[in-house]
Amino acid sequence: MPSIMINDRMMQAIGSLERAIARLEQSVAALPADAAGLSGVADPAGARAALQSLDDLITELRGRTGG
């Protein structure tokens, strides 16, 4: 498989991840700080940190693929 096809598929996958993470970030951002248990998110601050980590990983992947 040519590397261009792989890069295109990887970029599409990264784009899908970015959109999903953006939706999750909006949902988590809307949670009050004391919403643990009410929203199903046990640790809103931890969820925010995890989403930021995913954002960082996507940025790194984009750099590797030239996107």
Q: What is the pLDDT of residues 2-28, one digit of tens each?
A: 556 667 888 888 888 888 888 888 887
Contact present, 11 and 67 (Cβ < 8 Å): yes
Counting the structural domains of the chain, the total is 1
Neighbouring C-beta atoms of residue 47, cutoff 10 Å: 19
User: In this predicted model, which residue has the larger pLDDT, 65 or 63?
Assistant: 63
Q: Check: pTM over 0.85? Answer yes or no.
A: no
Contact present, 7 and 66 (Cβ < 8 Å): yes
pLDDT at 39 over 80: no
Which amino acid is present at 46? G
Domain of residue 28 covers: 3-65
Task: Provide DSSP, 5-27.
Answer: HHHHHHHHHHHHHHHHHHHHHHH
Contact present, 65 and 7 (Cβ < 8 Å): yes
